[in-house]
Structure 1
Amino acid sequence: MKLFNFENDYILENEYAKLIPLKESDFENLLEFSVNEPEIWQYSMVKADNPENLKKYIALALDERKKLNEYPFIIFDKTKQKYVGATRYCDIHLNTNRLQMGYTWFGKNFQGTGINKHCKFLMLEFAFEKMGMERVEFRAYTENIRSINALKSIGCTVEGVIRSNAICPTGKRRDTMVLSILKDEWTNEVKQMLNTKLPIISK
């Protein structure tokens, strides 16, 4: 089993994307999205849709890392030379070799550019091949069709829907779709498939 230490700063990167452990100082790097594009968090349970909520968002993420539950990243687009969003490992269980990937968002100008696929590839590769994970799980609000289709496109298997399992900030109860990739699926098919789909991102 590979070792993973929450205290270490792991940087994941390729030619196009760089995932850097989130820091409190990244408030300045993400503030423009919080101020100008609050609709990004329409389907999010934890919103960063104004400066105050962004501070809370970052503080909560860092607190969860200290508690050994989550490992958040800020996303840097190496082609655009710009910070473009955030993502994280969450619900991490090192004793049973499983985790979730989630809390992923991008500025509107960087959605659909291909940067998300590069980030997902880097995170899946690290989870299965460095952290020793046997299962990577994803969850999405059932009304968030764009996110669900994106997860299917990277090789996720739909497992089912957990009905009325969470309460949105609006007070409405939500149904959650569960998807996953297992280690043997990653090794035998998903890695190669996803690698062939990684787009060239233009400047």
Structure 2
Amino acid sequence: MNSNFSQEIILEDEVVLLRPLQKSDVANLLEISMNEPETWQYSLIRANEKENLENYIQIALKARENGLELPFIVFDKKSGKYVGSTRFYDIDLSFKTLQLGYTWYGKAFRGTGLNKHCKFLLLQFAFENLGVERVEFRADNNNQRSIAAMKSIGCRVEGVLRNHMPTLGSELRRDTIVLSILKEEWFLDVKAKLKSTLSCDS
């Protein structure tokens, strides 16, 4: 176990606040969960409908207890609403690596710049507080919206894992694209470039 993340980690700027996901957040996320089915098109673990959302959160909280994940709920300060969730996962602080994903937002908040604010806060915490050397991102290779979003924050494509894993509810298997940001890249130019876009999107 790397860490139990028992401390209350809150990341925020003038646009968003990320706080640890809680069991009670079912109520905060249920509207998106039930009414926006396209959110789960490429998800391997779906949080559509109340029972699935409860299970989704329970799995995330158990992984946090085991020091493997750090899940957040995302609060949009402009609207005063909870708008989605994201997390660090596959955390291995002995190797100084982790993955960033399980990210989803209500459709009204996609393409608004909110994601860049979230990613800036998360990457800054990963590299500057946790001291990791590498943050990895993965997505279904058909999920062009997600891939474009990752590239826009400074991720570099490493390659594609062909026929990597099954898709939910289908016999078809998916190709998984792997992207990453390294610590040296963060401090060299990714941080500054990403930060420069925040004022434009705010």
Query: TM-score, with normalisation over the residues of structure 2?
Result: 0.96
Give 5+ residue unaligned stretches, structure 2: none
CA contact (8 A) 1:163 1:174 kept: yes
Percentage identity across paired residues of the two chains: 56
Q: Deviations over 1:55-97 (max 9, x none)?
A: 0100000011111110000000011111000000000001010
**Cα offset, 1:201, TM superposition:** 5.6
Matched residue of 2:30: which SS? helix
What is the one-letter code of the residue matched to 2:96? N
- SS of the residue corresponding to residue 174 of structure 2 reads strand
User: Number of paired residues?
Assistant: 200
- 1:100–1:137 contact (8 Å) kept in structure 2: yes
Q: In structure 2, what is the equivalent of residue 35 of structure 1? A: 34
Q: Secondary structure at the match of 1:178?
A: strand
Q: How far did residue 98 of structure 1 move?
A: 0.4
The answer to whether the 8 A contact 1:38-1:50 is kept is no
> For residue 60 of structure 2, what is the amino acid of its counterpart?
A
Question: Which secondary structure state, in structure 2, belongs to the residue aligned with residue 74 of structure 1?
Answer: strand
Q: Is the 8 A contact 1:69 1:90 kept in 2?
A: yes
Listed as ranges, the matches of 1:10-29 within 5 Å are 10-29=9-28
Letter in 2 for 1:50: E
Amino acid at match of 2:188: N
**Which residue matches 1:109?**
108
Distance apart, 1:5 and its partner CA: 5.0
Runs of 4+ in structure 1 off by over 3 angstroms are 199-202
The one-letter code sitting in structure 1 at the alignment partner of 2:86 is T
For 1:32 and 1:150, locate their aligned partners in 2 and report how far apart those are by CA, in whole Å: 24
CA distance in 2, matches of 1:33, 1:68: 28
Q: How far apart are 1:168 and its partner, in Å?
A: 1.1
1:10-33 per-position Cα deviation (integer Å, ceiling 9, x unaligned):
000000010010000000000001
Output the TM-score relative to the length of structure 1.
Answer: 0.95
Structure 2 residue identity aligned to 1:155 = G
SS, match of residue 163 in structure 1: strand
Aligned to 1:131: 130
Shift in Å, 1:49: 1.0
1:185 aligns with 2:166: no
- Look up the SS of the partner of 1:161 in the other structure: strand
Equivalent residue number for residue 6 of structure 2? 7
Is 1:33–1:107's contact at 8 Å kept on the other side of the alignment? Answer: yes
Q: Does 1:174 align with 2:189?
A: no
Q: Could you tell me how far apart the structure 2 residues matched to 1:60 and 1:21 are?
A: 14
Q: 1:201 to 1:157 in 2, by over 3 A?
A: closer
Instruction: Please list the CA deviations of residues 100-148 of structure 1 after superposition, one character each: whole Å capped at 9, or x if unmatched.
Output: 0000000011111110000000000000000001000000100000100
Which residue does 2:118 correspond to in 1? 119
Structure-to-structure mapping, 1:36-75, within 5 angstroms: 36-75=35-74
Closer, same or farther: CA 187–5 of 1 in aligned 2, 3 Å: farther
Question: Structure 1 stretch 32-41 or stretch 17-26: which is displaced more?
Answer: 32-41
Q: Following the alignment from structure 1 to structure 2, what is the Cα–Cα distance between the partners of residues 69 and 55?
A: 19
Does the CA-based 8 Å contact 2:120-2:195 persist in structure 1?
A: yes
* Residue type of the alignment partner of 1:52: E
